[in-house]
Structure 1
Amino acid sequence: MSPAVRFQNVSRRFGSVRAVDGVSLDIEPGEFFALLGPSGSGKTTCLRLIAGFEQPDEGHIEIFGETAEGVPPYRRNVNTVFQDYALFPHMTVGENVAYGLMIKGVSKAEREAKAKDALALVKLAGYDTRRTAQLSGGQRQRVALARALVNGPKVLLLDEPLGALDLKLREQMQEELKSLQTSLGITFVFVTHDQGEALSMANRVAIFNDGKIVQVGTPSDVYERPTSRFVADFVGSSNVLPPEFAVAHGGVAAWTSLRPERIDVVPETASIAADHTSARGTISSISYQGAVTRITVATDKLPIVATIPPGASLHKGDAVTLAWPKSAMVAMGDGA
């Protein structure tokens, strides 16, 4: 079976800026795939290339085996959900959802029935006669989602659709989007700069930086086994250890990632397990963050950050030992 989306050495330039720079990528049918990266990294331009809002300057794009270059958006079997929803205020909810079907010439009775079915999918059954101004932000987001789904796309593109929601609603919608994608079985391509969102929802993640993909993998792959300092720093937080420090503590001669939650903070004289290594230092800062406490320890070589459960009787200036499994150190090649 052909990939749902295939990029082969795709580039897109805006003047002298290469917004997308030689990207090659396969997204599989039925996959929830996240494009993750900071602002300006190329992820949204890639989404627009799939949608047909942009055309590549170089390379080749396929959607389910069909060439996409030169094909206008309305002839691609994809739909996009935007962050700002772009709903029509003069239309009812049902009319908003059915708008695409109306443009296609679908009969009024059929499009109204399909709009009701799509609203039921996003848990808005009975809302079809309301005005969009009467809805909350989360409800408007669901209407935008229903409007995209009612057309039966083979690929649904989501451009940071949860960015305008508050934290509680955002977390709820993350769960609902993932559940909806699983039940529908269609391909979701999701753009976000929020690493927690990508890790919690996606089957696989592509990490973007400076127009290039720097790593692709499952959420656990990119978190547990980052291949570069950029990925280690961007996906969660990490202690990036220089090669000489890694070697001195049982690792290899390479830039190395050590996640803060893998580190224990113990008394200075505590014994260390044989498969662990350690470093002594002095606590330079303590930050209570609810579920965890973040502790920075100044060792004789470099500061190291650990996250531990709250409640420990520790204070700034305390002499402590940091202990971690040698296996928790992940080599990252040249550390770029």
Structure 2
Amino acid sequence: MTTPSTIPAVRFRAVARHFGEVRAVDSVDLDIAEGEFFAMLGPSGSGKTTCLRLIAGFEQPSAGTIEIFGEHAEGVPPYRRNVNTVFQDYALFPHMSVAENVAYALMVRGVGKAERLAKANEMLALVKLANFGARKPAQLSGGQRQRVALARALINHPKVLLLDEPLGALDLKLREQMQVELKTLQRSLGITFVFVTHDQGEALSMADRVAVFNAGRIVQVGRPEEVYERPATRFVADFVGGSNVIEPEAATRLRLPAGAWSIRPEKITLSATGNGPLGRVESLQYQGAQRRYVVAVGPDRLSVVTAAGTTAFTPGASVHVDWPADAPTRLEG
């Protein structure tokens, strides 16, 4: 693995992309480091996929500048950028074999058949499909087709690999397996990965850093634990993992300083004889490894998650709600 340079792999400065009156991307500033696994996280329509398409060259900015390893990318066509994209639908050629799909980019460049098939087999071995080259895509599972798409994207050794919701079509167990494999592959190759997803769990478990998008803007950038533990805004607190957003008028009732606050459900403890505000259990959901409660504290409602091995409280029970002093995070807006 090479030593990362000080030049960002991708740099956005005041980048905007407008479609008529719609501001899909609105004045985004962003640096993505070389060798970083970077996630763009947000709901549908938040601007994350448009940013990915701007890096790829499928869209051009309405304003601002984009640099890829220090070189301006505005107006540069996709095939002249040292980036490649993996799509959610894989976009494999059904009439070609797996090896031919992987080698397609080399064929377009005029690389001889023997050389391109040899390189394709190397890539297939890298993604654990060494003996699948002769098969057709229809003979593969969803996870295997995803690996083929990865191998095809990597065969030209791009400096930046763009992944547009690549695991969205997979079932939960396979998606979790591919998350581990993608992260392992990225670490071994040292390539910059830019991963677009609306799935908070994917972003938190895979990325070195996460940018949270909302309404065309980045509302917070940081390491996964920073974004989760210290959300900057109400939107981040609610979107990333779910949180108790406590409005200023409720803060005093819950013995918090003035202002708006976020407290993660798992940070709250329940007890029959605690020191915190007294509440009443409204509902309980048993979820295997954990229990999820809704607790009413006067007019306020708190979501609480406890481990399955802790004391259980039935609906209607009186409980005290407590949390560590560092659990609440003040929200900016």
Measured against the shorter chain, the TM-score band is over 0.9
Contact 1:280 1:321 in 2 (8 A): yes
Which digits, 9 at most, give the CA deviation of each residue in 1:99-124, with x for residues without a partner?
A: 01111111212111110011011000
SS in 1 for 2:277: strand
Q: Are the aligned partners of 1:250 and 1:326 in contact in 2 as well (CA < 8 Å)?
A: no
Q: Distance in 2 between matches of 1:297 and 1:162?
A: 35
**Residue in 1 that maps onto 2:308:** 310
Residue 261 of structure 1 corresponds to which residue in structure 2? 266
Cα deviation code 1:268-290 (max 9, x no counterpart): xx143xxxxx1111111111122
Match runs of 1:55-74 below 5 Å: 55-74=60-79
Mapped partners of 2:313, 2:81: distance in 1: 59
Between 112-121 and 245-254, the greater mean CA deviation after superposition: 245-254
Cα deviations by residue, 1:113-170 (Å, 9 ceiling, x for unpaired): 1100110110000111111110000000000000000110000000000000000000
Instruction: Report the identity percentage.
Output: 66
Partner of 1:321: 320
Unaligned 5+ residue runs, structure 2? 1-5
Contact 1:285 1:296 (8 Å CA) reproduced: yes
Counterpart for residue 220 of structure 2: 215
Cα distance between partner residues in 2 of 1:282 and 1:248: 15
Amino acid in the other structure paired with 2:52: L
The letter of the residue matching 1:121 is: L
In the aligned structure 2, how far is the partner of 1:23 from the partner of 1:252? 33
Q: Secondary structure at the match of 2:323?
A: strand
**C-alpha displacement at 1:316, in angstroms?**
1.0
RMSD over aligned CA atoms reads: 1.1
Structure 1 unaligned spans of 5+: 273-277
Q: Spell out structure 1 runs of 4+ moving beyond 4 A.
A: 247-250
TM-score (norm 2): 0.96
Deviation at 1:313? 3.4
Aligned counterparts, 1:1-336, within 5 A: 1-247=6-252, 249=254, 251-267=256-272, 270-272=273-275, 278-310=276-308, 312-333=311-332, 336=333
- Under a length normalisation based on structure 1, what TM-score does the superposition of the two structures give? 0.95
Report the 3-state secondary structure (helix = DSSP H, G, I; strand = E; otherwise coil) of the residue aligned with 1:71.
coil
User: Per the alignment, in what secondary structure is the counterpart of residue 328 of structure 1?
Assistant: coil
Q: Please tell me the residue identity of whatever aligns with 1:41.
A: S
CA contact (8 A) 2:274 2:320 kept: no
Q: Please state how far the C-alpha of 1:12 moved relative to its aligned partner.
A: 0.4
Deviation sequence 1:25-56 (CA, Å, 0-9, x none) = 00000000000000000000000000000000
Seen in structure 2, the aligned counterparts of structure 1 residues 9 and 329 have a Cα distance that, compared at 3 Å, is same
Contact 2:274 2:321 in 1 (8 A): no
One-letter amino acid of the structure 1 residue matched with residue 174 of structure 2? L
Deviations along 1:63-115, one digit per CA (max 9) or x if unpaired, are 00011000000000000000000000000000000001111111212111110
Conserved in 1, the CA contact under 8 Å of 2:274 and 2:322? Answer: no
More divergent stretch after superposition (178-187 vs 246-255): 246-255
Which stretch of the first structure deviates more once superposed, 193-202 or 308-317?
A: 308-317
Instruction: Determine helix, strand or coil for the equivalent of 1:147.
Output: helix
Using the TM superposition, give the Cα deviation of residue 252 of structure 1 relative to its aligned residue in structure 2, in angstroms. 3.3
Counterpart-to-counterpart distance in 1, 2:258 and 2:18: 38
**Greater CA deviation, 228-237 or 311-320?**
311-320
Secondary structure of the residue aligned to 2:321 is strand
Contact 1:251–1:326 (8 Å) recurs in 2 = no
